[in-house]
């Protein structure tokens, strides 16, 4: 049971940190949006890039050795879902489109890659 608690803690830390980073980055981007008024595709693309970056970086930082790929993927998906709910809670609205499944897959992919990269970097130190 101790291994499960440790894994759950790693996933939760990576997911929460990624979601908070995404919300902060989205707030900064919203300020830029006021000045530039880019097309909707630009807004969507930047949001996806920021989410993928958050999933990668925070999985790289928080996920450790055993079953890193699965823990990173779980952290990525959880981070994506948390950011959706937190964004809705602060007044951004609850917007789920057909592309949300693709966004979840992208978050899982980058979360898993970040975790594997982190494990590889820590082994070489």
Share of the chain above pLDDT 70, in %: 96
| pLDDT tens digits along 67-80 | 899 999 999 999 99
The pair phi, psi for residue 93, each rounded to 5°, is 90, 155
| Helix or strand run (H / E) with residue 54 | helix 40-62
Rounded to an integer, what distance in angstroms lies between the CA atom of residue 123 and that of residue 38? Answer: 43
In terms of residue numbers, what domain contains 84? 2-124
User: Which whole number is the average pLDDT over 86-107?
Assistant: 83
- Helices 2-36 and 100-124 pack at an angle, to 10 degrees, of 120
Count of the separate structural domains present in the chain: 1
| pLDDT tens digits along 32-81 | 877 887 777 887 888 889 999 999 999 999 998 888 999 999 999 999 99
């Amino acid at each position: 049971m101790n291994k499960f608690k440790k894994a759950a803690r790693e996933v939760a830390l990576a997911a929460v940190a990624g979601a908070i980073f995404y919300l902060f980055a989205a707030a900064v981007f919203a300020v830029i949006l006021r000045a530039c008024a880019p097309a909707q595709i630009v807004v969507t693309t930047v949001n996806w890039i920021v989410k993928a970056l958050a999933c990668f970086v925070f999985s790289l930082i928080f996920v450790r050795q055993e079953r890193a790929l699965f823990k990173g993927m779980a952290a990525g998906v959880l981070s994506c879902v948390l950011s959706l709910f937190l964004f809705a809670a602060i007044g951004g609205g609850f917007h789920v489109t057909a592309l949300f499944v693709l966004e979840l897959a992208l978050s899982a992919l980058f979360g898993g890659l970040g975790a594997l990269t982190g494990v590889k970097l820590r082994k070489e130190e």
